[in-house]
């Protein structure tokens, strides 16, 4: 029976990147920096300062409800942020003597200015009063934000123009987790105008005179419906309301993968990689993200900026220099460390398939030498229950094989060891506990090697004629009991296999039967 050992030099990150990034669930959008402005100016333009909220995958929306008197031309003609045009989404005009108008604009992440900006809206030649709602929405799917679902309408349920009525919405396509902005504005002069609906969380509800009232809200999930309850319009339903439902779809979060070496020599850089598709927010540009590295002994902390490997890859990399010193200064870009200390890299994975923010961590042990590990393996066998009368192993008897792996070098096997034990043709592997008290078909005792092992993830089998060279090649599932199809037993010991005096040792025990 032969044994092969393979030292892992690369990080044990996800083996199949496509599988890591393929699955996601919607993450609830976040609304920030809401601003509601009542503008009674008579100029053909209006400007104000507005700072889009910090974050990723953002959009800024502008909803303008303007008083539109008969024979007047006061409709908005455009909106800009720092001189860059916002995308118009549409408009609705009421009917009757008070033809109020609702207009919507949007700007996506790739066009948003950094920091404070100037919002400007222009009107037709006969400007009148208007109400402007500005908001930044984070974690928005940028593809859907290019042409978001929306529906404009003008509905009032009262049959008599002087009666109060229910403000209804036009139908709008929405999914269970979409954010739906619902706006309604009426030609009202009184504070008796109210909007009530248990499904809508109103972020604002105001009456502005003279001329109109306005309300807006958000509901998740959303089905096309109405703002029920009292919506009293002092001048009657001839001042028909303008309504809008705007759907913004949340970004699909993907699970980030953080990789850092399990061990590095003091003075060498610590290479860090994050794979996270939802941090790739700009398809045509190189994005960045940050991780925090902390020396768990001294408390020194460095913030490392990882840059995307190219536009639209979702793979971010950087390296943190280290130096041999008992202490250092946080934030200077170089980590001071001594042999034996642990550097912990932390990444905040705010968008992921679980929905709630989580922190990924990876520890790197600093060591004094770059000498290689030198692994050796010995193998012994003993009959189960003692030798037969002849003193030899005979057909039909059970045998326990014990494999001891030692590191006799001066350096560590940084990222663990892959062990393949090939059974001779005369042996049948026993797929069951080797001895009373064992829980898996191979007993693994890491001992003082510093490695870790889990049978659920680190024990596999192969029936191939050729010896496997990686755990991913071990794909055979044994049957319970003796299985003659098992040719190779594949075991992965995770984490650094440390050096020492005497040499650290890990032990593996398995059971087989002589044919």
Based on the domain organization, do 193 and 46 belong to the same domain? yes
What beta strand segments (E) does 201-287 contain?
201-208, 212-219, 226-227, 242-248, 252-253, 257-259, 263-265, 270-275
Number of domains, the chain: 3
Is 211 within the bounds of a domain?
yes
| C-alpha torsion angle, residues 492, 498, 504, 509 (rounded to 10) | -10
Residue 66 has a pLDDT of: 78
Residue 226 has a pLDDT of: 45
Domain membership of residue 129 as a residue range: 28-248
Based on the domain organization, do 289 and 199 belong to the same domain? no
Residue 234 has a pLDDT of: 44
Cα separation, 158 vs 232, in Å, equals 10
Cα separation, 74 vs 68, in Å, equals 6
Is 448 within the bounds of a domain?
yes
Based on the domain organization, do 339 and 354 belong to the same domain? yes
| Concatenated DSSP letters of 151-216 | EEE-----SSTTS---EE-------TT-EEEEEEEE---STT-----TT-EEEEEEEETTTEEEEE
Cα separation, 478 vs 488, in Å, equals 11
Based on the domain organization, do 222 and 326 belong to the same domain? no
Residue 95 has a pLDDT of: 62
Domain end among 325, 343, 367: 367
CB neighbourhood size of 49 (10 A): 9
Based on the domain organization, do 41 and 160 belong to the same domain? yes
Residue 291 has a pLDDT of: 97
Is 506 within the bounds of a domain?
yes
Based on the domain organization, do 212 and 266 belong to the same domain? no
Helices (H) and strands (E) in the chain, counts: 3, 38
Is 311 within the bounds of a domain?
yes
Based on the domain organization, do 422 and 479 belong to the same domain? yes
Token duo for residue 427: 């042996």
* Residue numbers in the chain where pLDDT is lower than 50: 1, 4-26, 70-71, 161-162, 190-210, 220-236, 389
Q: Which residues contact 444 (CB under 8 A, 6 or more apart)?
A: 453, 455, 458, 459, 491, 493, 506, 507, 508
pTM for this prediction: 0.49
Domain end among 367, 397, 425: 367
Distances (CA, A) of 319 to 174, 260, 264, 302: 43, 10, 12, 12
CATH number of the domain residue 337 falls in = 2.60.40.1930
Is 82 within the bounds of a domain?
yes
Residue 38 has a pLDDT of: 74
Based on the domain organization, do 362 and 482 belong to the same domain? no
Domain end among 330, 352, 367: 367
């Amino acid at each position: 029976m032969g044994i092969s050992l393979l030292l892992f030099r690369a990080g044990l990150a996800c083996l199949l990147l496509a599988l890591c990034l393929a699955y996601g669930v919607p993450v609830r959008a976040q609304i920030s920096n809401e601003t509601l402005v009542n503008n009674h100016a008579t100029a053909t333009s209006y400007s104000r300062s507005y700072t889009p909220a910090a974050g990723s995958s953002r959009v800024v929306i502008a909803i303008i409800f303007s008083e539109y008197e008969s024979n007047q031309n006061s409709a908005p003609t455009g909106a800009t942020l720092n001189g860059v045009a916002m995308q118009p989404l549409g408009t609705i005009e009421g009917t009757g003597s008070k033809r109020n108008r609702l207009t919507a604009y949007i700007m996506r992440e790739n066009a948003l200015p950094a920091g404070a900006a100037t919002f400007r809206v222009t009107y037709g030649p006969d400007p009148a009063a208007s109400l402007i709602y500005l908001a930044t929405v984070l974690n928005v799917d940028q593809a859907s934000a290019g042409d978001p679902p929306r529906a404009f309408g003008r509905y009032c349920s009262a049959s008599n123009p002087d009666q109060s009525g229910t403000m209804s919405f036009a139908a709008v396509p929405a999914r269970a987790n979409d954010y739906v902005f619902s706006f309604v504005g009426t030609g009202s002069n009184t504070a008796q105008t109210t909007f009530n609906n248990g499904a809508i969380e109103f972020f604002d509800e105001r009456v502005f005179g003279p001329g109109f009232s306005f309300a807006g809200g958000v509901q998740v999930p959303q089905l096309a419906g109405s703002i029920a309850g009292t919506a009293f319009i002092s001048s009657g339903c001839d001042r028909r309301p303008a309504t809008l439902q705007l759907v913004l779809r949340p970004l699909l979060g993907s699970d980030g993968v953080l990789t850092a070496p399990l061990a590095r020599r003091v003075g060498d850089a610590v290479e860090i990689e994050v794979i996270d598709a939802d941090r790739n927010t700009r398809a045509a540009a190189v994005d960045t993200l940050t991780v925090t590295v902390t020396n768990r002994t001294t408390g020194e902390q460095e913030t490392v900026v990882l840059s995307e490997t190219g536009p639209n890859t979702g793979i971010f990399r950087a390296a943190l220099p280290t130096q041999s010193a008992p202490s250092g200064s946080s934030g200077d870009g170089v980590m001071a460390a001594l042999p034996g200390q642990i550097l912990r890299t932390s990444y905040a994975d705010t968008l992921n398939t679980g929905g709630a923010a989580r922190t990924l961590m990876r520890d790197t042990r600093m060591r004094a030498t770059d000498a290689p590990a030198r692994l050796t393996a010995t193998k012994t066998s003993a009959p189960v229950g003692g030798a037969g009368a002849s003193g030899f192993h005979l057909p039909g008897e059970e045998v326990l094989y014990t494999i001891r792996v030692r590191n006799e070098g001066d350096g560590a096997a940084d990222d663990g060891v892959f062990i393949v034990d090939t059974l001779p043709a005369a042996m049948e592997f026993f797929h069951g506990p080797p001895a009373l008290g064992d829980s898996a078909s191979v007993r693994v005792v890491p001992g003082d090697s510093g490695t870790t092992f889990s049978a659920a993830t680190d024990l596999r089998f192969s029936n191939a004629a050729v010896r496997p060279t990686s755990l991913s090649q071990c794909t055979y599932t044994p049957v319970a009991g003796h299985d003659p199809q098992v040719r190779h037993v594949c075991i992965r010991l995770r984490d650094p296999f440390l050096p020492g005096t005497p040499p650290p040792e890990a032990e593996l025990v398995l059971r087989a039967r002589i044919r």
